[in-house]
A and B are shown apart, each in its own frame.
Chain A
Amino acid sequence: MNKTNQQSLSLDALRAGDRAEYARLVENYYQFVYRLALKMLGNPQDAEDILQDTFIKVFRHLDTFDGRSNLSTWIYRIAVNEALMFLRKKQPELVSIDQPVETDEGEQDPVQIVDWCCLPENELMSSEAKAHLDQAMSSLPPGLRAVFILRDIQGLSTRETSEVLNISEMAVKTRLSRARLRLRELLTEYFGERLVERKSPS
């Protein structure tokens, strides 16, 4: 991530309550936290609530940050937990980051075999397509969703993701694989239909 900026933040100044340093911390991380929350929750209003709650928690608990992990890792962990707590309130039966993700189910066979890669960009990135992307994302169990967002949208490494979520690197890889395959399946249903429409204009 933003390693140079991050190193230039002074933990001592933060702990001493230096407001300028608080402001710099916000500048460094608010976009990351916002996008993470937006993708976890699927709507801007909830994302903004999580954004604010995350930084309130960060400042409130700075004295418990022991400096052993990166500051960024710690902030992202707080953000993910805020998002998961929010989801848990909304759909309690679905959400736990610790719960094994379909232990016995394993990988699902791909059913949709359509090569839609050749669709033009304006169809792949249309607002209708975006709505389908969002819908597919929200159908993922939150434990898979968090991994996919951190790795593929926010660009964290497997190791960073495992530190943020407090799960093993192996678990990150397994969840990422399942998340990607499921999303591929759902997008293929949608884009496959677009492809058929293009080939046989009515």
Chain B
Amino acid sequence: MSHEQCRYLLGSLSEYIDGTLEESLCHAIEQHLAGCDNCRVVIDTLRKTVSLYHDEAQRETASEEVHQRLLKRLNLDDFIS
């Protein structure tokens, strides 16, 4: 990752994986990726990082106990179903 262009494009990778990057930069990245394995790895692992955090967090929900203690604290015990 010592290439000037890798450094230059780095700040755009996040928007690139979101598909919100402006077209000219997108094009520049895709051209660069064709010849740069390092940046391809960075992009793939960047995507994977985001999806891992997302997927892992979806499994974490407030338990029914947490829910009920919340309603109690708010004096809404009568709405505990």
Contact = CB atoms under 8 A, between A and B. Distances in A.
Interface of A: 19-20, 22-23, 26, 30-31, 34-35, 38-39, 44, 48, 51-52, 55-56, 59, 106-107, 109-111, 113-117, 124-125, 130, 133, 137, 148, 152-153, 155, 158, 173, 176-177, 180-181, 183-184, 187-188
A55 B70 CA distance: 9
Instruction: Give chain A's interface secondary structure class.
Output: helix
29 contacts: A22-B74, A22-B76, A35-B60, A35-B62, A44-B66, A51-B62, A51-B66, A51-B70, A52-B73, A52-B74, A55-B73, A55-B74, A107-B11, A109-B1, A110-B1, A110-B42, A114-B41, A125-B56, A152-B50, A152-B54, A153-B57, A155-B54, A177-B14, A180-B46, A180-B49, A181-B13, A183-B49, A184-B42, A184-B49
Contacts of A188: 45
Contact of A26 (B15, B41, B46, B70): B70
B75 to A, nearest CB: 8
Nearest to A58: B74
A51 to B, nearest CB: 6
Contact of B76 (A23, A117, A130): A23
Could you say which interface size class chain B belongs to? Answer: 35 or more
A31 B61 CA distance: 6
A116 to B, nearest CB: 6
A34 B45 contact: no
B48 interface: yes
Contacts of A59: 74
Given A56-B74, A181-B14, A184-B46, 19 more contacts: A22-B76, A23-B76, A23-B79, A26-B79, A51-B62, A52-B70, A52-B73, A52-B74, A109-B10, A110-B1, A115-B41, A117-B44, A117-B45, A137-B53, A153-B57, A158-B20, A177-B15, A180-B14, A181-B13
